[in-house]
Amino acid sequence: LKKKKKSLKSVYWFRRYLLCVWKDNKKKSALFEVAEVIPVMTNNYEETILKGVRDSTYSLESSIELLQKDVVQLHAPRYQSMRRDVIGCTQEMDFILWPRNDIEKIVCLLFSRWKGSDDEPFRPVQAKFEFHHGDYEKQFLHVLSRKDKAGIVMNNPSQSMFLFIDRQHLQTPKNKATVFKLCSICLYLPQDQLTHWGVGTIEDHLHPYTLE
């Protein structure tokens, strides 16, 4: 790979799923399939990430350290519903995250396989991608008072998951309400973890979340 000046992300196919886990444990989690996983190398989005650093709760030092690592970014701007009773169609990610209080956490499941191995199944990458409601709500409250219209980027405490947020203003009969919508999710994964595969197929891992 070094001789060919290739990165590991260029020899993999990726599949990724997005779960919205509700606080009401009787309610089945909302499951979405990412329409296309876009892998890029670190620093391609350095300006955007650092812009989010200036107005968020994590430190500049930790973000610079992260950007200097040999990391693959896995972007997901489009998705579709996985519910069998809903006709799924691919759409731009447009999911209201705030204000609402029914979400416990957002989870991403990542699967991969070598390119050219069409007969091989996708295997689960052993990495944890979770963003709890309490962690992103603190950041929403922090940026709520800002007047600028700069892009909003926020990350979970482990800095493995970045949310790209769109701020919108809705006019209600009494006042103007601010709504934060999720428009893209970026996963950060060190390249050496791309080969840390677990057991089971995609179907095995999604079964608890799909309708019978």
Which pTM value belongs to this model?
0.77
For each successive 10 residues of the chain (212 residues), what is the average pLDDT? 50 88 88 83 55 58 59 80 57 80 93 85 93 92 73 87 86 80 88 86 85 48
- The type of residue at 89 is C
Residue 200 — left, alpha, or beta (φ > 0 → left; ψ -120 to 50 → alpha)?
left
If you ran DSSP here, which 8-state letter would residue 53 be given?
A: H
Tell me whether residue 81 is exposed, middle or buried, using C-beta atoms within 10 angstroms of its C-beta: 0 to 12, 13 to 18, 19 or more: middle
Instruction: Provide the pLDDT for residue 5.
Output: 44
HSE-CB for 47 with a 13 A CA cutoff: 2
HEC string of 67-126?
HHCCEEEEEECEEEECCCCCCCCCEECCEEEECCCCEEEEEEEEEEEECCCCCCCCEEEC
Pairwise CA distance, residues 96 & 92, whole Å? 13
Instruction: Provide the pLDDT for residue 177.
Output: 81
Give me the residue spans of the domains in the chain.
8-209
Instruction: Provide the pLDDT for residue 190.
Output: 82
Instruction: Provide the pLDDT for residue 70.
Output: 66
* Beta-sheet pairing, 103-114 with 123-124: antiparallel
Phi/psi of residue 166, nearest 5 degrees: -110, 125
Nearby residues of 196 by Cβ (< 8 Å), 6 or more positions away: 125, 126, 127
Tell me whether residue 165 is exposed, middle or buried, using C-beta atoms within 10 angstroms of its C-beta: 0 to 12, 13 to 18, 19 or more: buried
By three-state DSSP, how is residue 23 classified? coil
98, two tokens: 């705030």
Instruction: Provide the pLDDT for residue 90.
Output: 64
Pairwise CA distance, residues 181 & 129, whole Å? 19
Instruction: Provide the pLDDT for residue 212.
Output: 45
Pairwise CA distance, residues 59 & 163, whole Å? 16
